[in-house]
Chains A and B, each alone.
Chain A
Amino acid sequence: MRADVLDALARHAATLDESGFDPRADVSVDAWAGLHADLAALGLEFSDITALDRIDAVELVCWLLSSPSEQLSVRTSCLNDRLLAPTLSDVYPPAEFGEREVYDLFGVVFEGHPDMSRILQPDDATTFPLRKSFELAETPW
């Protein structure tokens, strides 16, 4: 882990956990955009943004690359009654599509996103299929 990245994480009160496969940093939703702006300024590249359903909350997972071979996940948690997070699309342009997908499949709304609309499902869809509460219909066989 680079020292300047550690500094940035500490500045935003992120907890760093290096016991897993890749280092992960957990941060509060309020510090989400600020931390990413700092990390982008340090030259970290965006790889992917996605989410995990934690039943009572949705965990946002953003994978960043500190070098072509080193990856780091930054995570935050949005409780079910407030599925709202600041957008990263002004920091990382590709996150625009990634966040639309998270909205489409998990229902997390990103504040400040230029176009918060459905991306994979039809525009008139009403469900968020990757939530665990959404169950697939039984097949006839």
Chain B
Amino acid sequence: MLSRMRLAVAILGFGLAAATPTFAETVQTGAVPPPPAPASVAKASVANTSTADHSKFEILQKAFASGPEVTAACLTCHTEADDEIMHSIHFQWSYESQSGQTLGKRNVINSFCGSVSSNEPRCTSCHAGYGWDDMAEAPPAQETAADCLACHDRTGQYTKTATGAGHPPLAPVKPGTLTITGAAAWPVDLAKAAQSVGMPGRDNCGNCHFYGGGGDNVKHGDLSSALYEPPLEVDVHMSPDGENMTCSTCHVEEQHQWAGSRYDVIAADHPDIAPGGPRETASCESCHSETPHEALSLDGMKLNDHTDVLACQTCHIPEFARGGAPTKTLWDWSTAGRLDETGKPIVESDWISPTTGEHFHTYMSKKGDFDWGEDVVPYYAWFDGHVEYTLPGQTLDPDQVVEINRITGDAEDGVSRIWPFKRMAGRQPFDSGNNTLVATHIWGPTTDTAFWTNFDWAKSVEAGMAAMGADYSGEYGFIDTQMYWPITHMVAPAEDAVRCAACHAQEGRLVGLAGIYMPGSNPNSIVGILGVLMVLATFLGVLGHGLLRLVSRKKGGSHE
């Protein structure tokens, strides 16, 4: 093992010595080379339906000095694109939900990183634009602030720095710079990216959405780096061995507005799936219909019986966080800030992935205690698609676990179905005087208020609340929270769907869900007990009768 490592080092050394000038340049700037184009690009996971080869456009054949310069070039032909994208949730980070709330990253506080307010250039590194560094202000309005390449680069080497308010790393890259996926940053070749543009692949969406909450699969549980090139058993739709679909195959788009939102979920879709019918929703039914199982088989008929109460995902995503990337299941901020005897931050990595053997953080002075899960059995609940957030300023009950987002629904409302969720457990700071959630100033390497720099909650909360312009009593505490993430990706092959007996059993997966009759889940129901008693009484009666006959026969009463 050791000798093999030495050999590898030696080869690497030779390679460096014999490097071409371009290699030497990258060494000089201290940056890393861009990653090879993801296989999804090579395998053309996106059907090329374009009649234009962007590498032939003169306007794209030049050295670009910044992202906005590329956008300016794009807009010379795509005149309305900036307007469209700027009205989308990807740019506004604001969303008027059906429950009447204004949601979106700009407005909500979650149980992961807390709030965007006061942490802008870090959090807005994933903004689909350039230079939004103050949440108190609307996103930048100049047309070149839209980031076309984040979604349309097909070279795989376009990225954004982790702390640059949406800008890409450009040469020379400052050593230590990271990308939004946490990798060491490389200088992006903007001209190459601009000439490559096409419809988004899984990598374009995934580079932000797979890393929500500060790392791979931390937040969603069903969106992880495993979906760049998923094996068939992880995701039948997106696997190159399956349908090789991209995100936008389901999340259909019109004028840069996408179908499918966890703020307003279609809990039960009733689509017109006639050939040529419209496809406007990101639901399973929009392709598979409401009776997707073989209608002429007993098995299929029985399974079709279930689609009125069960979301497709409930059976067909047996576990989430599959494919080797665990998800964070608990985040306790209240223990953050503990330092070692020399005053240095502590990092403990005691959670070991059962599939990869990799260690994951269980304590960090910066973030507190964590727990992780891989191949997690979801939490199930009736869901009508409505989500209501506990928004900043809303009064909460300090004696209860706070539901960061409440999901509603029941068996009787005619729209709900049983859905799978990742239920995130949190413990996070709150205003113990006003009983509200608080914004926290977490990131800010040069400030004396950011928690990660100063490990002082009082300053962090005060600065966070000030940045959000919110009323703060000056007293903070910690409160237990819960957050629900609908599980809808990582659809397994049909043969791996949840077994009947996983629910149709005592203490099955859906135990405690009201409003459904589930054979096998309650053999000791009242009718069940009555029935057993009836049979028992019959049996005892017959037994007694028989015994009496035996006894009376011994007395000589037999007629035989």
Q: Do they bind each other?
A: no
Interface residues of chain A, those whose CB is within 8 Å of chain B, are: none
Interface residues of chain B, those whose CB is within 8 Å of chain A, are: none
